[in-house]
Amino acid sequence: MVLNDLWEALSFVCTLQFWRMGVLWTISIIFSYFQLIFNGFLRRKAFSYPRCSLSTTMAAGRSVCIVTGATSGLGAQAAYALSKEGFFVILVGRSSNQLSKVVEDIRMQNESALLKAFEVDMSSFPSIMKFKASLEKWLLDSNLHSSVQLLINNAGILATSSRSTVEGYDQMMATNYIGSFCLTKVLQPLLQNSLIPSRVVNVTSFTHRNADLQVVDKESVCGRMFSKSRRYPYAQIYEFSKLCILLFSYELHQQFNAMENSHQISVIAADPGVVRTRIMREIPKFLSCTAFSVLKLLGLLQSPEIGIHSIIDAALAPPEISGAYFFGGKGRTIDSSTLSYNAALGKKLWATSNDIFMELQQHNNVNGL
């Protein structure tokens, strides 16, 4: 068993994707912290925003918040933190057993927590549509206003082997980006129906800085083009999925900003940095433990309790804040990569993603789901 583990780790090390993660991702996170230091040195106060209390931003006790990827790590911690802020937190995750455990853990720490869990596979469009219908029925049965005040798209995976959804999409792209796009689209009426300003927080990653692919057609967004590679380029796909989240965030921000009621919905990106979660579970254990140890020595590794600060900062930022990239906690924001601000690329991605959404919706309707 030990020899097998060592051989697996050795085989993993002898790949370009591993070194891309180890070298380029480390440079990216250091660059992000350098921006924080640089901004702090210049004391640019406009790049830091205070958290607003629930009483000044939401209707206390009845504001609905949805957190995807809530079965562990950042999602679970964000759900707990937002329950403490008075939100009625909807936990979304793939495992009903793990969701039940998270709900139990939160209630042990916060007896007054308002929680509801839904089992949802974010890589499956039918599962997302089923969730929408169940959510609307639950809101009605609970005598809650038919609206959502906060959506946190946190679900994400780092898959080291190629896996496809039933539609033939790459599972990592489907989970990390397409699912978030589709969920936001189907919940947009509930966000717009809010009596108070609502918000979408998209969780991204510093790894997007390494993404250089500027092709956002259906083959790339669905991940099919990556299947042509001899070895599954998991690091590049992960980077690309996080770049797509940012391009989507900025384009959605622009669209809402152009609407008459633009103040009603804001869109913010949040980067938690390097956090010790289960996202590295497909990496050989010896390598993941070594990587975490090195990152801890460098002062770059955070616990989920600390990592959620940028997410909560984004969730509780003043209602007028939109189109920002939160990183580093303490309400601080920095600039994402130059490519992520490419408006033309963002519009192309939006068009492609919308076509995928319409295709999935049509297929879903044909099958009577």
- Residue 351's CB is within 10 A of a number of other CB atoms, namely 13
* Residue among 354, 317, 312, 51 at smallest CA distance from 182: 354
128 is a domain residue:
yes
- Angle ∠(244,247,253) on CA atoms, nearest 5: 135
First to last CA, the chain: 45
pLDDT at site 263:
57
Report how many domains make up the chain.
1
355 is a domain residue:
yes
27 is a domain residue:
no
Query: Going by C-beta distance under 8 Å and a sequence separation of 6 or more, which residues neighbour residue 3?
Result: none
Amino acid of residue 91: L
* Integer angstrom CA distances of residue 368 from 118, 215, 245, 365: 21, 33, 30, 5
Query: Going by C-beta distance under 8 Å and a sequence separation of 6 or more, which residues neighbour residue 225?
Result: 215, 219
Amino acid of residue 8: E
Q: Are 77 and 104 in contact (CB under 8 A)?
A: no
36 is a domain residue:
no
Please classify residue 89 by burial: count the beta carbons closer than 10 Å to its beta carbon, then call 0-12 exposed, 13-18 middle and 19+ buried: buried
pLDDT at site 61:
46
Choice among 94-103, 288-297, 352-361 with the minimum mean pLDDT? 288-297
Extract the tokens encoding 343.
Answer: 């408006």
Residue at token pair 């090390």: 13
Extract the tokens encoding 161.
Answer: 């082997």
**Per-residue model confidence as pLDDT tens digits over 98-112:** 999 999 999 999 999
Extract the tokens encoding 342.
Answer: 């490419």
Q: Are 181 and 132 in contact (CB under 8 A)?
A: no
**DSSP secondary structure letter of residue 51:** P
339 is a domain residue:
yes
Choice among 47-51, 283-287, 314-318 with the minimum mean pLDDT? 283-287
Q: Parallel, antiparallel, or unpaired for β 274-275 and 301-302?
A: parallel
> How far is 318 from 208, CA to CA, in rounded Å?
26
Three-state SS for 164? strand
What's the distance, CA 117 to chain centroid?
A: 18
Q: What is the pTM of this model?
A: 0.93
Query: Going by C-beta distance under 8 Å and a sequence separation of 6 or more, which residues neighbour residue 171?
Result: 123, 157, 159, 163, 164, 165
Specify the CATH number for the domain of residue 361.
Answer: 3.40.50.720
Amino acid of residue 157: I
330 is a domain residue:
yes
**Per-residue model confidence as pLDDT tens digits over 105-132:** 999 999 999 999 999 999 999 999 999 9
pLDDT class of 2 with cuts at 50, 70, 90: low
40 is a domain residue:
no
> How far is 129 from 285, CA to CA, in rounded Å?
36
Domain hosting 199: range is 48-366
3 is a domain residue:
no
pLDDT at site 264:
85
**DSSP secondary structure letter of residue 280:** G
Please classify residue 115 by burial: count the beta carbons closer than 10 Å to its beta carbon, then call 0-12 exposed, 13-18 middle and 19+ buried: buried
Q: What is the mean pLDDT of the chain?
A: 90
